Structure 1
Amino acid sequence: MDQLIYSFEIALKHLCRVSAIHQILFLIIIGAFFSFKDWKTYLLILLALCSGSLVGLSLAIFKAVSLTKTTIHLLAIICLVIVSLNAIFSNRISTLHYNIFVLIGIMQGFILSLHYKAALGTSVKFMAYLGYNLGSSTGFLIVSFLSLLICTLMLTFFKTDKHKISLVLAGLGLGVALMMYF
């Protein structure tokens, strides 16, 4: 049980720290795309993202797919670019978006596997693996929910346009992706 709680805390702290800017920005863009009235769609997107992350992390941890660190770094850039472009050009969520977010979740799972291996080692312990998955899913939910809350408050109090907020954050996401590449 201690291993479960420990790995949960490691994953949650990893996703909520400022130095993980590409993952935080990725989740902020997702949260800013929605408002509270779209809560069902928002939760379905997060479910697609978390389930994809579980698959990607499992593939990496159980060594079913082996990717180099530079390939995983490239996947992080691709995730940020896809989510940013989605926020720029899309106004509605369709079935295709759910599939895209599952694929993005798989890429995020590979990205998380780097931290998992660094923090918990390469040997797989079920409780550590389970705790890390729960912690990362909770981190996804917390960061994107806070973004959703802040975006909804800005829309309510400042009477701003949701698409303009999405454009600003998407531009920031593309800028960070370019900086990560170079």
Structure 2
Amino acid sequence: MSDFWLYFKLGLEHVLDWKAYDHILFLIVLCAAYTFNSWKRLLLLVTLFTIGHTVSLLMANYNVVSVSTRWIEFLIPVTILITALFNLFTAGKEKRAEKLGLFYIATVFFGLIHGFGFASYYKMINADNDILPLLEFALGVEAAQIIVVIIVLILAFIFQMLFRFNKRDWVLVVSSIVIGMIIPMLIENWIF
């Protein structure tokens, strides 16, 4: 049973690590346009991201796919930027719902990319290639992501209800702040 907590805690720490805040930034822009009323859709998005993340770890762990770390370190901020830009261009528009099918697919794909960013470290700690620790780790990732989402939803509620930000302005401000934070990461990892 202690192995479960070891890998679960590792999944929690992977997401909640302030030194590697890219995962948190992605979650912030992923859920910026949502409220507590749309928690089911948001939970689905977060779970799809976890599935993509877990599949990439699985593929890397069993040497099905090998991706250059340099490319992944570049693509991670790109996924955050694309999600934030999507928010900017769709903020306050009712047609956003029509684009959600593509958004679900993109979220799984972005989860794949983010998972490859952690794959080499995960391979080192799971040398036995067992699948159970990977699932325990994925549960920790999912739990941590839900914690981040709840915090963002609470902040959204506070700003929208107490400080009278409208939803569109909240999405624009949050997405713009994340873009400002991600640009240095993008420049630092530029590969062209």
TM-score (norm 2): 0.85
Q: Tell me what 1:136 maps to.
A: 141
Letter matched to residue 83 of structure 2: V
Aligned pairs for 1:5-84 (under 5 A) are 5-84=5-84
Q: Does 1:170 align with 2:175?
A: yes
Q: Which runs of 4+ in 1 moved over 3 A?
A: none
- Residues 2-56 of structure 1 deviation map (CA, whole Å, 9 limit, x = unaligned): 2221011012012112112211111112222200111222122122212222222
- Residues 119-172 of structure 1 deviation map (CA, whole Å, 9 limit, x = unaligned): x15442333212111111111211122111211222111110222222222222
Aligned length: 181
Q: Tell me what 1:110 maps to.
A: 116
Identity of aligned residues (%): 27
Letter matched to residue 12 of structure 2: L
Q: Tell me what 2:159 maps to.
A: 154
Task: Return 5+ residue gaps in structure 2 as ranges.
Answer: 188-192
TM-score (norm 1): 0.89
Task: Return 5+ residue gaps in structure 1 as ranges.
Answer: none
Letter matched to residue 166 of structure 1: V
Letter matched to residue 76 of structure 2: A
Query: Which structure: larger Rg?
Result: 2
Report the 3-state secondary structure (helix = DSSP H, G, I; strand = E; otherwise coil) of the residue aligned with 1:67: coil
Q: Select which of 119, 127, 132 maps to 1:127.
A: 132
Q: Does the 8 Å contact 2:32/2:175 carry over to 1?
A: no
